[in-house]
Amino acid sequence: MVHLRIVAPAGAIRQTLDVLMQAQSVVNVIHLEDASKKPRGDVVLCDVAREDASVVLADLRALGLAQSGSIAVEEIDTAISDSARAAEAAAAGSVADAVIWEEVEARTSESAELSFSFLAFMVLATLIASAGIMTDSQILIIGAMVVGPEFGPLAGFCVAVIDRRLDLARRSLFALAVGFPFAIVLTTLLTLILRWLGPAPDQVTANSRPATYFIAHPNTFSVVVATLAGVAGMLSLTTAKSGALIGVLISVTTIPAAANVGVAAAYGDWHDFGGALAQLGINLTCVVLSGIATLALLRVFYARRRRRHLERASWQAPPDPRVHGRGRR
């Protein structure tokens, strides 16, 4: 279940209550007259089954509440109520597979920004991976994968394509376009410093790094892994089955390759430089394409649910722009 806190102006409160009372997946509807002072309006509290959350939110947004009032969404960890169980039973589908599109948009919008913390984690992850490449340490490569923050802008770009949000697409691409080159340049400089000071090995070859040699030599499995990683990442982002290991799966296809570009440049190994750069390009492309395809398929399922909901509703709501392809700009 998710909890909604709605502020509705006086002119929209009747329709707001109608929407909530008609939905069988909504329960615990509480109406507090003139309880909100900024913005002015009535406060309505309710709980809705996660499977139908986006459908109900689309109805509320169609009433203009996002502009004239406000809608807040919170997760409910535990609901002890027969009414709540009945509401969940009335919503078709599985709770674990339910997608709250507003939640997805909020997550990606926040993580797609170019910020100091994003650049710091990009640099730290790439530097750790470079140490793993020079020492042929799989542990360091895994550590770098955990730190890598690059999936945020990648996911943001995928959502931007599906929602046709040019602003989010620009921010996501800008974060990636700045983050990866910045991390690669600093990795190259640190590797040069380590070579000058002495801790770095004299050379990094296939014989000296058998465990990490694959990073600069893309093959068919590079495409397969990156494609699967994009699907897994999007499913993690959109459903309740998210976890820290998904971030590792995504990072394995990007951060080590970027680190290898910097290390190869520092050693003047232009063959590995080109291979690592190709690996990075292949990985980014496959993750984005498979992510977009996954979101598009999930959006089709949502569109069907939304249409069935509107067929049962006794009021006519405006079309949802996410279904009809008119995203916010």
Q: 287-306 pLDDT, tens per residue?
A: 999 999 999 999 888 888 88
The whole-angstrom separation of Cα 33 and Cα 45 is: 11
Topology of the domain covering 105-303: Glycerol uptake facilitator protein (1.20.1080)
pLDDT of 49 higher than 70: yes
Percent over 70 (pLDDT), the chain: 90
Tokens 């920004």, residue?
113
The whole-angstrom separation of Cα 231 and Cα 298 is: 11
Q: Does domain 2-98 have CATH number 1.20.58?
A: no
Domains of the chain, by residue range, sit at 2-98, 105-303
Contacts of 130 (CB under 8 A, 6+ apart): 187, 190, 191, 259, 260, 262, 263
Q: Which of 212, 182, 215, 187 is nearest to 282 (CA)?
A: 215
pLDDT value of position 33: 93
Q: Residue 166's CB: how many other CB atoms inside 10 A?
A: 12
Looking at the DSSP bridge assignments, the partners of residue 40 are 37
Q: 96-136 pLDDT, tens per residue?
A: 677 888 888 887 877 788 899 999 999 999 999 999 999 88
In this structure, the strands spanning 40-48 and 2-8 are antiparallel
pLDDT value of position 44: 96
- DSSP, residue by residue, 266-291: HHT-HHHHHHHHHHHHHHHHHHHHHH
Q: pLDDT class for 328, splitting at 50, 70, 90?
A: very low
State the pTM of this model: 0.83
